[in-house]
Amino acid sequence: MRGKKQRKRYRRLDRAERAAIQSGLDKGRSCRQMARDLGRSPSTVADEVARNRTVAKGPGKGERVRGVPDDACPRLLSWPRCCNGCRNLRYRCRRRWRCEYSAARAQALADAELRESRIGVDRDEAGFEYAMGLIRCDVARGLSPQQIALARAGQIGASPSTIYRWISRGYAGMCDLDLRRKCGYKPRSRSEPPRPTAHGGARSFSAFMGLPEEERARACEMDTVIGLRSDRRCLLTLYLRAFRFQLALLMPDKTAASTESALDMLERAAPNAFARLFPLVLTDNGAEFADSEGIERSALDPAARRCSVYYCDARQSQQKGGCERNHVEVRKILPKGRGISFDRLGGRDCAVLMSHLNSEPRPSLGGMCAIDMLLAALGADGRELLDALGVEKVPYGELDMTVGAVEADRRRRGEGPLMP
Protein backbone atom coordinates (compact mmCIF):
# COMPACT_ATOMS: atom_id res chain seq x y z
CA MET A 1 0.00 0.00 0.00
CA ARG A 2 1.43 3.27 -1.03
CA GLY A 3 1.64 5.92 1.62
CA LYS A 4 0.30 9.38 1.15
CA LYS A 5 2.59 11.79 -0.56
CA GLN A 6 4.15 14.07 2.04
CA ARG A 7 3.48 17.73 1.57
CA LYS A 8 6.63 19.63 0.72
CA ARG A 9 7.58 22.05 3.49
CA TYR A 10 7.64 25.69 2.46
CA ARG A 11 11.03 27.39 2.48
CA ARG A 12 11.48 31.15 2.58
CA LEU A 13 13.19 32.89 -0.28
CA ASP A 14 16.85 33.59 0.43
CA ARG A 15 19.18 36.37 -0.69
CA ALA A 16 20.46 34.52 -3.76
CA GLU A 17 16.93 33.81 -5.02
CA ARG A 18 15.92 37.44 -4.60
CA ALA A 19 19.02 38.48 -6.55
CA ALA A 20 17.98 36.06 -9.34
CA ILE A 21 14.48 37.59 -9.38
CA GLN A 22 15.91 41.10 -9.71
CA SER A 23 18.20 39.96 -12.54
CA GLY A 24 15.26 38.31 -14.33
CA LEU A 25 13.12 41.45 -14.02
CA ASP A 26 15.92 43.61 -15.41
CA LYS A 27 16.16 41.25 -18.42
CA GLY A 28 12.39 41.24 -19.00
CA ARG A 29 11.86 37.55 -18.27
CA SER A 30 8.41 36.19 -17.50
CA CYS A 31 7.24 35.08 -14.09
CA ARG A 32 6.99 31.42 -15.15
CA GLN A 33 10.51 31.38 -16.57
CA MET A 34 11.99 32.68 -13.33
CA ALA A 35 9.85 30.31 -11.24
CA ARG A 36 11.05 27.34 -13.31
CA ASP A 37 14.70 28.31 -12.85
CA LEU A 38 14.27 28.75 -9.10
CA GLY A 39 12.18 25.63 -8.57
CA ARG A 40 9.34 27.72 -7.17
CA SER A 41 5.75 28.26 -8.10
CA PRO A 42 4.92 31.31 -10.24
CA SER A 43 2.67 32.66 -7.49
CA THR A 44 5.64 32.73 -5.09
CA VAL A 45 7.67 34.87 -7.48
CA ALA A 46 4.73 37.17 -8.26
CA ASP A 47 3.83 37.63 -4.58
CA GLU A 48 7.48 38.36 -3.71
CA VAL A 49 7.70 41.18 -6.27
CA ALA A 50 4.33 42.65 -5.30
CA ARG A 51 5.03 42.47 -1.55
CA ASN A 52 8.62 43.73 -1.43
CA ARG A 53 8.77 46.32 -4.22
CA THR A 54 9.69 49.81 -3.07
CA VAL A 55 8.93 53.36 -4.25
CA ALA A 56 11.67 54.63 -6.58
CA LYS A 57 10.18 58.07 -7.38
CA GLY A 58 7.46 60.06 -5.72
CA PRO A 59 6.04 60.31 -2.20
CA GLY A 60 7.43 57.68 0.21
CA LYS A 61 10.60 57.06 -1.78
CA GLY A 62 12.48 54.00 -0.50
CA GLU A 63 9.49 52.64 1.41
CA ARG A 64 7.45 49.53 0.67
CA VAL A 65 4.64 50.06 -1.86
CA ARG A 66 1.32 50.18 0.02
CA GLY A 67 -0.89 51.08 -2.90
CA VAL A 68 -0.61 52.03 -6.57
CA PRO A 69 -1.96 55.47 -7.63
CA ASP A 70 -4.78 55.58 -10.16
CA ASP A 71 -2.63 57.31 -12.79
CA ALA A 72 0.25 54.84 -12.42
CA CYS A 73 1.77 52.93 -15.33
CA PRO A 74 -0.18 49.78 -16.37
CA ARG A 75 2.98 47.73 -15.78
CA LEU A 76 2.51 48.29 -12.05
CA LEU A 77 -1.01 46.81 -11.98
CA SER A 78 -0.02 43.43 -13.43
CA TRP A 79 3.19 41.57 -14.10
CA PRO A 80 5.98 42.66 -13.66
CA ARG A 81 4.44 45.12 -11.13
CA CYS A 82 7.60 47.25 -11.12
CA CYS A 83 9.68 49.43 -13.43
CA ASN A 84 12.57 46.97 -13.72
CA GLY A 85 13.37 46.16 -17.35
CA CYS A 86 11.23 48.97 -18.79
CA ARG A 87 12.68 50.33 -22.02
CA ASN A 88 11.16 53.78 -21.42
CA LEU A 89 12.55 54.11 -17.92
CA ARG A 90 15.68 56.12 -18.66
CA TYR A 91 14.66 58.69 -21.29
CA ARG A 92 10.99 58.58 -22.30
CA CYS A 93 9.14 57.92 -19.05
CA ARG A 94 7.27 60.98 -17.72
CA ARG A 95 5.51 59.26 -14.82
CA ARG A 96 5.72 61.09 -11.50
CA TRP A 97 5.47 57.84 -9.50
CA ARG A 98 7.61 54.76 -10.04
CA CYS A 99 8.50 51.64 -8.12
CA GLU A 100 11.24 49.06 -8.44
CA TYR A 101 12.29 45.70 -7.06
CA SER A 102 15.71 45.66 -5.33
CA ALA A 103 17.02 42.36 -3.94
CA ALA A 104 18.91 44.09 -1.12
CA ARG A 105 15.93 46.16 0.02
CA ALA A 106 13.58 43.19 -0.39
CA GLN A 107 15.84 41.07 1.84
CA ALA A 108 15.95 43.82 4.46
CA LEU A 109 12.14 44.14 4.43
CA ALA A 110 11.71 40.36 4.72
CA ASP A 111 14.18 40.14 7.60
CA ALA A 112 12.47 42.97 9.46
CA GLU A 113 9.09 41.32 8.99
CA LEU A 114 10.46 38.01 10.28
CA ARG A 115 11.97 39.65 13.36
CA GLU A 116 8.74 41.46 14.13
CA SER A 117 6.76 38.24 13.87
CA ARG A 118 8.94 36.63 16.54
CA ILE A 119 8.58 39.41 19.12
CA GLY A 120 6.67 38.39 22.23
CA VAL A 121 6.05 35.13 24.03
CA ASP A 122 4.36 32.25 22.23
CA ARG A 123 1.83 31.74 25.05
CA ASP A 124 -1.45 33.16 26.21
CA GLU A 125 -1.33 35.44 29.24
CA ALA A 126 -2.76 32.97 31.76
CA GLY A 127 -0.53 30.10 30.61
CA PHE A 128 2.56 32.28 30.67
CA GLU A 129 1.87 33.57 34.18
CA TYR A 130 1.37 29.99 35.38
CA ALA A 131 4.66 28.87 33.79
CA MET A 132 6.62 31.81 35.20
CA GLY A 133 5.18 31.16 38.65
CA LEU A 134 6.53 27.62 38.57
CA ILE A 135 9.90 28.81 37.25
CA ARG A 136 10.19 31.49 39.92
CA CYS A 137 9.49 29.01 42.71
CA ASP A 138 11.98 26.47 41.37
CA VAL A 139 14.72 29.08 40.85
CA ALA A 140 14.20 30.29 44.42
CA ARG A 141 14.86 26.71 45.56
CA GLY A 142 18.21 26.75 43.76
CA LEU A 143 17.22 24.66 40.72
CA SER A 144 18.80 25.39 37.34
CA PRO A 145 16.85 26.02 34.10
CA GLN A 146 18.05 22.62 32.80
CA GLN A 147 16.53 20.86 35.81
CA ILE A 148 13.32 22.87 35.57
CA ALA A 149 12.90 22.09 31.86
CA LEU A 150 13.36 18.35 32.50
CA ALA A 151 11.19 18.07 35.60
CA ARG A 152 8.33 20.26 34.33
CA ALA A 153 8.37 19.39 30.64
CA GLY A 154 4.63 18.67 30.66
CA GLN A 155 3.68 21.74 32.67
CA ILE A 156 5.89 24.39 31.13
CA GLY A 157 6.90 22.95 27.75
CA ALA A 158 9.95 25.19 27.38
CA SER A 159 13.58 24.40 26.66
CA PRO A 160 16.41 25.47 29.01
CA SER A 161 17.48 28.21 26.59
CA THR A 162 13.94 29.60 26.55
CA ILE A 163 13.84 29.69 30.34
CA TYR A 164 17.21 31.43 30.41
CA ARG A 165 15.94 33.99 27.89
CA TRP A 166 12.75 34.68 29.88
CA ILE A 167 14.77 35.24 33.06
CA SER A 168 17.31 37.49 31.30
CA ARG A 169 14.50 39.65 29.91
CA GLY A 170 13.20 40.25 33.42
CA TYR A 171 9.87 38.43 33.14
CA ALA A 172 8.11 37.82 36.48
CA GLY A 173 10.56 40.17 38.21
CA MET A 174 13.53 37.83 37.78
CA CYS A 175 17.02 38.55 36.46
CA ASP A 176 20.37 36.82 35.96
CA LEU A 177 21.29 37.48 39.59
CA ASP A 178 18.65 34.91 40.60
CA LEU A 179 20.63 32.16 38.86
CA ARG A 180 23.47 30.68 40.86
CA ARG A 181 26.04 30.36 38.09
CA LYS A 182 24.81 32.74 35.40
CA CYS A 183 26.33 35.71 37.17
CA GLY A 184 29.88 34.96 38.29
CA TYR A 185 31.62 36.78 41.11
CA LYS A 186 35.36 37.27 40.88
CA PRO A 187 36.71 40.28 42.74
CA ARG A 188 39.67 41.75 40.86
CA SER A 189 42.84 42.70 42.63
CA ARG A 190 43.26 46.43 42.98
CA SER A 191 46.65 48.04 42.66
CA GLU A 192 47.87 49.47 45.90
CA PRO A 193 48.95 53.11 46.04
CA PRO A 194 52.71 53.49 45.53
CA ARG A 195 54.61 53.00 48.75
CA PRO A 196 57.30 55.63 49.39
CA THR A 197 60.91 54.57 49.48
CA ALA A 198 62.54 53.69 52.79
CA HIS A 199 65.34 56.19 52.07
CA GLY A 200 63.26 59.17 53.20
CA GLY A 201 61.20 61.82 51.49
CA ALA A 202 64.24 63.85 50.38
CA ARG A 203 65.31 60.98 48.10
CA SER A 204 61.81 59.83 47.04
CA PHE A 205 60.41 59.80 43.53
CA SER A 206 58.10 62.66 44.49
CA ALA A 207 61.13 64.75 45.37
CA PHE A 208 62.72 63.77 42.04
CA MET A 209 59.60 64.85 40.14
CA GLY A 210 59.73 68.16 41.99
CA LEU A 211 63.02 69.02 40.28
CA PRO A 212 63.02 71.21 37.13
CA GLU A 213 62.21 69.33 33.95
CA GLU A 214 65.58 70.22 32.39
CA GLU A 215 67.41 68.49 35.26
CA ARG A 216 65.18 65.41 35.13
CA ALA A 217 65.77 65.08 31.38
CA ARG A 218 69.55 64.81 32.04
CA ALA A 219 69.20 62.21 34.80
CA CYS A 220 70.84 58.79 34.75
CA GLU A 221 68.74 55.68 35.45
CA MET A 222 70.62 52.91 37.28
CA ASP A 223 69.77 49.22 37.59
CA THR A 224 71.33 45.74 37.50
CA VAL A 225 71.04 42.80 35.10
CA ILE A 226 71.70 39.27 36.35
CA GLY A 227 72.56 36.03 34.58
CA LEU A 228 72.10 32.52 35.94
CA ARG A 229 70.93 31.93 39.50
CA SER A 230 74.30 30.43 40.36
CA ASP A 231 76.22 33.48 39.07
CA ARG A 232 77.90 35.90 41.44
CA ARG A 233 78.76 38.50 38.83
CA CYS A 234 76.18 40.91 37.44
CA LEU A 235 75.98 44.00 35.26
CA LEU A 236 75.47 47.51 36.58
CA THR A 237 73.52 49.36 33.89
CA LEU A 238 73.53 53.15 33.64
CA TYR A 239 71.12 54.69 31.13
CA LEU A 240 71.66 58.33 30.12
CA ARG A 241 68.25 59.74 29.33
CA ALA A 242 69.44 62.68 27.25
CA PHE A 243 71.52 60.58 24.83
CA ARG A 244 69.83 57.13 25.03
CA PHE A 245 73.31 55.86 25.93
CA GLN A 246 73.56 52.60 27.88
CA LEU A 247 76.58 51.73 30.03
CA ALA A 248 77.12 48.20 31.36
CA LEU A 249 79.76 47.75 34.05
CA LEU A 250 80.72 44.30 35.32
CA MET A 251 80.50 43.87 39.10
CA PRO A 252 81.94 40.91 41.10
CA ASP A 253 78.72 40.56 43.09
CA LYS A 254 75.39 42.26 43.65
CA THR A 255 76.26 44.26 46.76
CA ALA A 256 76.28 47.91 47.74
CA ALA A 257 80.08 47.85 48.02
CA SER A 258 80.43 46.61 44.43
CA THR A 259 78.07 49.33 43.18
CA GLU A 260 80.13 51.99 44.93
CA SER A 261 83.38 50.51 43.54
CA ALA A 262 82.01 50.46 39.97
CA LEU A 263 81.02 54.12 40.19
CA ASP A 264 84.38 55.01 41.73
CA MET A 265 86.16 53.30 38.82
CA LEU A 266 84.06 55.21 36.32
CA GLU A 267 84.67 58.55 38.05
CA ARG A 268 88.44 58.02 38.18
CA ALA A 269 88.63 56.88 34.54
CA ALA A 270 86.58 59.80 33.12
CA PRO A 271 86.23 62.53 35.75
CA ASN A 272 85.10 65.30 33.38
CA ALA A 273 82.50 63.13 31.65
CA PHE A 274 81.27 61.80 35.01
CA ALA A 275 80.70 65.30 36.36
CA ARG A 276 78.64 66.27 33.29
CA LEU A 277 76.67 63.03 32.82
CA PHE A 278 75.84 61.87 36.35
CA PRO A 279 74.57 64.84 38.38
CA LEU A 280 71.31 62.99 39.08
CA VAL A 281 70.87 59.25 39.51
CA LEU A 282 67.46 57.54 39.69
CA THR A 283 67.39 53.91 40.82
CA ASP A 284 65.20 51.35 42.56
CA ASN A 285 65.17 50.06 46.13
CA GLY A 286 67.43 47.06 45.59
CA ALA A 287 69.90 46.08 48.29
CA GLU A 288 72.81 46.87 45.97
CA PHE A 289 71.73 50.54 45.97
CA ALA A 290 71.06 50.82 49.71
CA ASP A 291 74.20 52.86 50.49
CA SER A 292 73.04 56.23 49.15
CA GLU A 293 75.89 58.08 50.86
CA GLY A 294 78.48 55.78 49.27
CA ILE A 295 76.93 56.32 45.83
CA GLU A 296 77.02 60.10 46.29
CA ARG A 297 80.52 60.29 47.85
CA SER A 298 83.21 61.29 45.35
CA ALA A 299 86.17 58.95 44.87
CA LEU A 300 88.41 61.90 44.01
CA ASP A 301 87.46 63.98 47.05
CA PRO A 302 85.69 62.04 49.84
CA ALA A 303 84.45 65.31 51.32
CA ALA A 304 82.71 66.25 48.04
CA ARG A 305 79.41 65.03 46.62
CA ARG A 306 79.64 63.71 43.07
CA CYS A 307 75.90 63.19 42.41
CA SER A 308 72.42 63.19 43.96
CA VAL A 309 70.62 59.84 44.12
CA TYR A 310 66.84 59.39 44.16
CA TYR A 311 64.80 56.22 44.54
CA CYS A 312 61.65 55.02 42.77
CA ASP A 313 58.61 54.07 44.81
CA ALA A 314 58.49 50.45 45.93
CA ARG A 315 57.57 48.05 43.09
CA GLN A 316 57.23 50.88 40.58
CA SER A 317 59.95 50.03 38.08
CA GLN A 318 58.12 51.92 35.32
CA GLN A 319 59.26 55.14 36.98
CA LYS A 320 62.65 54.49 35.38
CA GLY A 321 61.16 53.10 32.20
CA GLY A 322 63.99 54.11 29.88
CA CYS A 323 66.44 51.79 31.60
CA GLU A 324 63.89 48.97 31.79
CA ARG A 325 63.08 49.23 28.08
CA ASN A 326 66.75 49.34 27.13
CA HIS A 327 67.31 46.09 29.02
CA VAL A 328 65.42 44.48 26.13
CA GLU A 329 68.30 45.50 23.87
CA VAL A 330 70.80 44.10 26.38
CA ARG A 331 68.94 40.79 26.39
CA LYS A 332 69.20 40.59 22.61
CA ILE A 333 72.96 40.18 23.01
CA LEU A 334 72.90 38.34 26.35
CA PRO A 335 69.60 36.43 26.15
CA LYS A 336 67.99 34.56 29.01
CA GLY A 337 67.47 30.83 28.88
CA ARG A 338 70.55 30.17 26.73
CA GLY A 339 72.85 29.08 29.57
CA ILE A 340 74.99 32.24 29.44
CA SER A 341 76.88 32.62 32.71
CA PHE A 342 77.86 36.15 33.68
CA ASP A 343 80.75 34.64 35.67
CA ARG A 344 82.46 34.01 32.31
CA LEU A 345 82.08 37.63 31.20
CA GLY A 346 85.05 39.96 31.15
CA GLY A 347 85.57 43.69 30.76
CA ARG A 348 86.20 43.31 27.02
CA ASP A 349 82.87 41.46 26.63
CA CYS A 350 81.09 44.40 28.24
CA ALA A 351 82.90 46.80 25.89
CA VAL A 352 81.69 44.81 22.86
CA LEU A 353 78.18 44.78 24.31
CA MET A 354 78.17 48.57 24.78
CA SER A 355 79.72 49.16 21.34
CA HIS A 356 77.01 47.30 19.44
CA LEU A 357 74.20 48.42 21.74
CA ASN A 358 75.01 52.12 21.34
CA SER A 359 75.77 51.91 17.60
CA GLU A 360 72.30 50.88 16.47
CA PRO A 361 70.31 53.74 14.89
CA ARG A 362 67.53 55.04 17.12
CA PRO A 363 64.28 56.49 15.68
CA SER A 364 64.00 58.61 18.83
CA LEU A 365 67.32 60.26 17.88
CA GLY A 366 66.30 60.92 14.28
CA GLY A 367 68.24 57.92 12.98
CA MET A 368 71.44 58.76 14.88
CA CYS A 369 73.09 56.30 17.23
CA ALA A 370 73.74 56.99 20.91
CA ILE A 371 77.52 57.24 20.38
CA ASP A 372 77.17 59.99 17.77
CA MET A 373 74.71 61.81 20.01
CA LEU A 374 77.08 61.64 22.97
CA LEU A 375 80.08 62.87 20.98
CA ALA A 376 78.10 65.69 19.38
CA ALA A 377 76.98 66.97 22.79
CA LEU A 378 80.11 66.42 24.92
CA GLY A 379 82.96 66.44 22.44
CA ALA A 380 86.26 65.64 24.16
CA ASP A 381 84.54 64.67 27.41
CA GLY A 382 82.42 62.15 25.51
CA ARG A 383 85.51 60.73 23.84
CA GLU A 384 87.14 60.46 27.28
CA LEU A 385 84.27 58.26 28.48
CA LEU A 386 84.27 56.03 25.40
CA ASP A 387 88.04 55.50 25.58
CA ALA A 388 87.85 54.69 29.29
CA LEU A 389 85.25 51.99 28.64
CA GLY A 390 86.77 50.70 25.40
CA VAL A 391 83.62 51.53 23.43
CA GLU A 392 83.89 52.02 19.66
CA LYS A 393 81.29 52.81 17.04
CA VAL A 394 80.38 49.74 14.98
CA PRO A 395 79.55 50.38 11.29
CA TYR A 396 75.98 49.57 10.33
CA GLY A 397 77.09 46.73 8.04
CA GLU A 398 78.91 45.04 10.96
CA LEU A 399 76.23 45.67 13.58
CA ASP A 400 75.16 42.44 15.33
CA MET A 401 72.46 42.58 18.02
CA THR A 402 72.84 38.91 18.95
CA VAL A 403 75.16 36.93 21.21
CA GLY A 404 77.22 36.31 18.08
CA ALA A 405 78.81 39.75 18.48
CA VAL A 406 80.41 38.76 21.81
CA GLU A 407 81.23 35.22 20.63
CA ALA A 408 83.06 36.48 17.53
CA ASP A 409 85.20 38.85 19.59
CA ARG A 410 86.02 36.08 22.07
CA ARG A 411 87.16 33.83 19.22
CA ARG A 412 89.45 36.59 17.92
CA ARG A 413 90.99 36.88 21.39
CA GLY A 414 91.43 33.11 21.63
CA GLU A 415 88.94 32.69 24.48
CA GLY A 416 86.34 29.98 24.85
CA PRO A 417 82.69 30.40 23.86
CA LEU A 418 80.33 32.23 26.16
CA MET A 419 77.48 29.80 25.55
CA PRO A 420 77.86 26.18 26.69
pLDDT at residue 1 greater than cutoff 50: no
- Domain positions in the chain are 15-115, 125-178, 201-412
Mean pLDDT (whole number) for 6-35? 88
Residues 264-278 have pLDDT tens digits of 999 999 999 999 999
Q: In this predicted structure, which of 2-11, 46-55, 71-80, 309-318 has the lowest mean pLDDT?
A: 2-11
Mean pLDDT (whole number) for 292-315? 94
pLDDT at residue 357 greater than cutoff 60: yes
Residue 246, strand partner residues:
239
What count of Cα atoms within 13 Å lies in the side-chain half-sphere of residue 165? 8
- The answer for residues whose C-beta is within 8 angstroms of residue 406's C-beta and 6 or more apart is 333, 334, 349, 352, 353, 418
User: Which CATH number applies to 201-412?
Assistant: 3.30.420.10
Angle at 216 between CA 250 and CA 256, to 5 degrees: 30
pLDDT band at 14 (very low <50, low <70, confident <90, very high): very high
pLDDT at 331: 94
118: exposed, middle or buried (Cβ count in 10 Å: 0-12, 13-18, 19+): exposed
Strands (E) in 67-183, as ranges, are 98-100
Please say whether the beta carbons of 58 and 66 come within 8 A.
no
Count other Cβ atoms within 10 Å, centred on residue 138: 18
Q: In this predicted structure, which of 61-65, 220-224, 227-231 has the lowest mean pLDDT?
A: 61-65
Q: pTM here?
A: 0.58
Residues 146-163 have pLDDT tens digits of 899 998 888 888 898 989
Q: In this predicted structure, which of 41-45, 166-170, 383-387, 413-417 has the lowest mean pLDDT?
A: 166-170
pLDDT at 97: 87
pLDDT at residue 169 greater than cutoff 70: yes
The residue type at 84: N
pLDDT at residue 7 greater than cutoff 90: no
